[in-house]
Amino acid sequence: MDNQKIQIKEINVKGVLTKSNLPVSDYSVNPYVGCLHGCKYCYASFMKRFTGHLEPWGKFVDIKYWEPIKNPEKYKGKELFIGSVTDPYQPLEKKYERTKILLEELKGSGARLSIATRSDLVLRDLELIKSFPNARVSWSINTLDDEFQKDMDNAVSIEKRLEAMRLFHENGVRTTCFISPIFPGITDVKAIINKAKKYCNLVWLESLNLRGDYKATIMNYIKEKHSDLVPLYESIYNKKDRTYWENLDKEMKEFCKEENLPYVRDDDSMQRPLNEPPIVVSYFYHEEITKSAKKKKEIEENK
């Protein structure tokens, strides 16, 4: 990666914890703006609209500095999602340690952590993460093909992600294999599950959802590298045909039945013992899932 073309800026912010609109968490936590992993399909590229960045996605990062958290106990029992629009363990974390500092400030607070990453740098903070109740770490893995992975992102290899997952799992931390996004005709979901199932408590399946600027990027990539799949992608993303996802849903039900893995539409993995096989949760229809999850969150909040 050409560092001369990357814009890195240190910024001061009022706080790093933001009340979340996400149905899966109470607070969103992002120690950085932007991400050097530069995933071609990253939904978080929409952040450029609000930050004024003109650089291409993956070519800028703002390093956040905030006042020390004064009353960390106020977050006891709250779900904190670290990495909703950036990778908290992207390469710059090795130098700036903003995620590590955040965890140190929250240690002992009783907050519940959910960390999303594509990195093995998270291993540095294993003992710190273990100190939080029911902490969970997820790794995004949507291929076992090294060439395709390198085409799509600048993160560490799939092998390193799986090894990090294994080590966290063996140390008693709940782990998630986030098979996302699933590229129709490219992502071998069954192979990934078979590779990761011994090292995780949960498998999330999420469809490739093309929107915004990166839709053209991905469609052009398919035309260039996988021209035989163009009709399929045209059908799914221009004609809104859900047949592919409906068929995959049926396949996964049968596969999970054969492998003795629970296949569900809701995540209850936190209620299961750590040594049990992972449950598999499918997120194939974004609009329906978002509405359902928001309704569930409203019910929980009004109890």
CA distance 227 to 229: 5
131-150 mean pLDDT: 96
Return the H-helix or E-strand segment holding 250. Answer: helix 243-259
Question: pLDDT band at residue 260, thresholds of 50, 70 and 90?
Answer: very high
pLDDT tens digits, 272-299: 777 788 999 988 865 554 444 444 444 3
pLDDT at 268: 64
CA distance 251 to 208: 17
Integer distance in angstroms from the first to the last C-alpha of the chain? 50
Q: Cα dist. 146→149, 151, 155, 190 in Å?
A: 5, 9, 11, 17
pLDDT tens digits, 209-247: 998 888 999 999 999 999 999 999 999 999 999 999 999
Does residue 138 register a pLDDT over 80? yes
pTM of the predicted model, to two decimals? 0.89
pLDDT at 289: 43
Residue with tokens 């294994």: 166
Cis peptide before 273 (omega within 30 of 0): no
Tokens at residue 144, please? 């076992």
pLDDT tens digits, 59-88: 999 999 999 999 999 999 999 999 999 999
Q: What is the DSSP string of 1-52?
A: --GGG-EEEEEEES-SEEE--STT-SEEE-SEES-TT--TT-GGGGGHHHH-
pLDDT tens digits, 12-63: 999 999 998 877 799 999 999 999 999 999 887 776 667 778 788 889 999 9
pLDDT at 1: 43
pLDDT tens digits, 157-212: 999 999 999 999 999 999 999 999 999 999 999 999 999 999 999 999 999 999 88
Does residue 301 register a pLDDT over 90? no
pLDDT at 295: 46
Domain residue spans of the chain: 1-134
Cβ contact 178:155 at 8 Å: no
Cβ contact 37:155 at 8 Å: yes
Closest CA to 115 of 81, 156, 64, 164: 81
Does residue 8 register a pLDDT over 90? yes
Cβ contact 185:223 at 8 Å: no
Tokens at residue 69, please? 């958290």
Higher pLDDT, 271 or 184: 184
